[in-house]
Structure 1
Amino acid sequence: MHYDLGLAGRTVAVTGGASGIGLRCVQTLAGAGAKVAVLDVNREQLDAAGAPIRAAGGAVLALDLDVRDAGATEDAFARIETDLGPLDGLIAAAGVARSAPATMLTPEMWDLVIGVNLTGLFYTVQAAGKRMVARGRGAIVTFGSTSSVGGQAGRAAYCASKAGVVGLTRDLAIEWGSYGVRINAVGPSLTDTPMVRNGIPQKFLDDIVADRTPLGRMADPQEVADTCMFLLSDLSSYITGTLLMVDGGVTAGAFTAQKGRDFSSKAMLAQGIYRERD
């Protein structure tokens, strides 16, 4: 089912827009009639992301960008407004993860994850936000995570970066709200993308993720993209400074098992209300 969220004709930039959730956001925006700027470090994937939109007659601008470069980021947003028009929205989806025990986490790994996920995010929202503040309107969506609110072994840099995203988002909501600019974070749990499939053991996805998620599965990228569309649209006109979890219920409780059907009670177990896992 599709809804008209009033995004047609609006100019929206998406960082990390050439793959994964970012790409799905790009496709959804284009389908809604928005003018889309796709920003990513992968030139080949950028071309692939923009080509179908262009072929269908949509307005798209594909720019090679490393968000860690403040000057290049500023130049990219100036180019977006020159080519597509005044910026109405931003989805800051660029992000990376590197896994290692904290005792083995190298400076290079730490700098990459913090650089892209937090410092690069700041450069991105700064470049977009100052234009929106000057114009008195705009909506920004940043990417937190379930790791914004809890830790996960082997993800020290990632968890630190995603907690920082939420703090930054809330600060900017306070600073920019009176200028008509809204900024919110989405908090996805594991989402069914090639990066997740290639990087996480299937047994973990089956035995841990599905078991501990009340909805019993990973998120579909479209479900996260649709949430971003809502936060960009006027339907969320009184929402700012929020971390909106898109996690199937993962963060709703700390002792979740069997998709929420393990009641952890000897009495209910004896009554046959549920049974223990094999």
Structure 2
Amino acid sequence: MNFDLQGRVAVVTGGASGIGLAVSRAAADQDMAVAVLDNNAQAVEAATAELQDRGFKCLGLVVDVTESESVARAVADVEASLGSIDALVACAGISQNTPVVDMSDEEWDRLVAVNQRGVFTVAREIGRRMVARGSGAMVVIGSTDTIGGHINHAAYAATKHAVAGFVQSAAIEWGRAGVRINVVAPGAVDTPLLRTKFDDETAQRVLLYNVPMGRLSRPAEQANASLFLLSDAASYVTGTTLCVDGGLTTGFFYNDQVH
């Protein structure tokens, strides 16, 4: 699948694992220069080595997206190494599985820091440059929790709702400058992290019982949606949320069955 993105520079936060790694690989396959930003040094090294061994132009950086100074240094390093940034996919995020009444202040604050502040810090830093240049596109990886709720996911859902509001407001601010920003909202994606929690039988019972397509998403499917929104094929799309969820949110939003 060709999105005509060759020669452009992409930054992918959380780009060394899960959906982020799929996006990094897909962007490289489009002949984009890719900056893989992640807080896991070992994963950054592995992802960067993989892409470079395949002949792609890639820069790996260990970054904490919750720290503005860390993000600013990373963005400057990307520009110095790869050139002006044309695209951002903000994948860095964490989840939780805690009832509201049992959640600590520390857990809540950590979710907000990574999922909400982390999107803001990188979008702000790169957005400044895109607006000044008059071009660019961003995708933020949300969730079906962006538009609904989920048992034991109150903090996670709160951050994902907040990110959608941020994206809508940024789209309004940046639209006349030629900068687009959208959300991709995945359903359940078949990642190594998910597989640590669910085998096939449990996934079918807990995650897929009301997904019309009846299967988990492949990470590459989320990456393809992201690249579409970055591409000129989506040149009139901004401020929206694209659900890539196998049809989950076409009906009543789910409540978990007994695990």
Q: Same fold (TM over 0.5)?
A: yes
Q: 1:172 aligned to 159, 170, 173, which one?
A: 170
Q: 2:194 aligned to 176, 193, 196, which one?
A: 196
Q: Which residue of 1 aligns with 2:46?
A: 48
Aligned CA distance change for structure 1 residues 222 and 255 (closer, same or farther; 3 Å): closer
Higher relative contact order (CA 8 A, sep 6+): 2
Q: CA deviation at 1:209?
A: 2.1
* Aligned positions of 1:44-193 closer than 5 A: 44-193=42-191
Secondary structure at the residue paired with 1:12?
strand
Return the letter of the residue paired with 1:131. Answer: R
| Residues 138, 181 of structure 1: 8 Å contact kept | yes
Percentage of matched positions with identical amino acids: 43
Q: CA deviation at 1:203?
A: 4.7
Q: CA deviation at 1:57?
A: 2.3
Q: CA deviation at 1:255?
A: 7.2
- Alignment deviations for residues 21-61 of structure 1 (CA, whole Å, 9 cap, x no partner): 00011011111110000000000000100102212221111
- Alignment deviations for residues 48-104 of structure 1 (CA, whole Å, 9 cap, x no partner): 001022122211110000100011101111111111000000000000012211001
Separation in structure 2 between the aligned mates of residue 255 and residue 111 of structure 1, nearest angstrom:
26
Q: CA deviation at 1:199?
A: 2.9
Separation in structure 2 between the aligned mates of residue 243 and residue 4 of structure 1, nearest angstrom:
22
Separation in structure 1 between the aligned mates of residue 131 and residue 202 of structure 2, nearest angstrom:
44
Return the letter of the residue paired with 2:209. Answer: D
- Alignment deviations for residues 176-223 of structure 1 (CA, whole Å, 9 cap, x no partner): 000000000001011000111113465541113222000001111011
Q: 2:214 aligned to 213, 216, 220, which one?
A: 216
Secondary structure at the residue paired with 1:139?
strand
| Residues 142, 184 of structure 1: 8 Å contact kept | yes
Q: Which residue of 2 aligns with 1:274?
A: none
Separation in structure 2 between the aligned mates of residue 255 and residue 13 of structure 1, nearest angstrom:
32
Secondary structure at the residue paired with 1:210?
coil
Q: Which residue of 2 aligns with 1:38?
A: 36
- What are the ranges of 5 or more consecutive residues in structure 2 without an aligned counterpart? 255-259
Separation in structure 2 between the aligned mates of residue 8 and residue 235 of structure 1, nearest angstrom:
14
Separation in structure 2 between the aligned mates of residue 160 and residue 184 of structure 1, nearest angstrom:
18
Q: Normalising to structure 1: TM-score of the pair?
A: 0.89
| Residues 33, 57 of structure 2: 8 Å contact kept | yes
* Aligned positions of 1:242-253 closer than 5 A: 242-253=240-251
Deviates more, 1:38-47 or 1:148-157: 148-157
Separation in structure 1 between the aligned mates of residue 55 and residue 251 of structure 2, nearest angstrom:
46
Return the letter of the residue paired with 2:101. Answer: T
> What count of residue pairs does the alignment treat as equivalent?
255
Secondary structure at the residue paired with 2:97?
coil
| Residues 148, 253 of structure 2: 8 Å contact kept | no
Pick the structure with greater CA Rg.
1
Return the letter of the residue paired with 2:252. Answer: A
Secondary structure at the residue paired with 1:142?
strand
Q: Which residue of 1 aligns with 2:257?
A: none
Q: CA deviation at 1:6?
A: 1.0
| Residues 183, 239 of structure 2: 8 Å contact kept | yes
Separation in structure 2 between the aligned mates of residue 204 and residue 179 of structure 1, nearest angstrom:
47
Aligned CA distance change for structure 1 residues 201 and 147 (closer, same or farther; 3 Å): farther
| Residues 143, 165 of structure 1: 8 Å contact kept | no
Separation in structure 2 between the aligned mates of residue 204 and residue 165 of structure 1, nearest angstrom:
30
Q: CA deviation at 1:137?
A: 0.1
Separation in structure 2 between the aligned mates of residue 181 and residue 131 of structure 1, nearest angstrom:
10
Q: Normalising to structure 2: TM-score of the pair?
A: 0.95
Q: CA deviation at 1:143?
A: 1.2
CA-based RMSD: 1.4
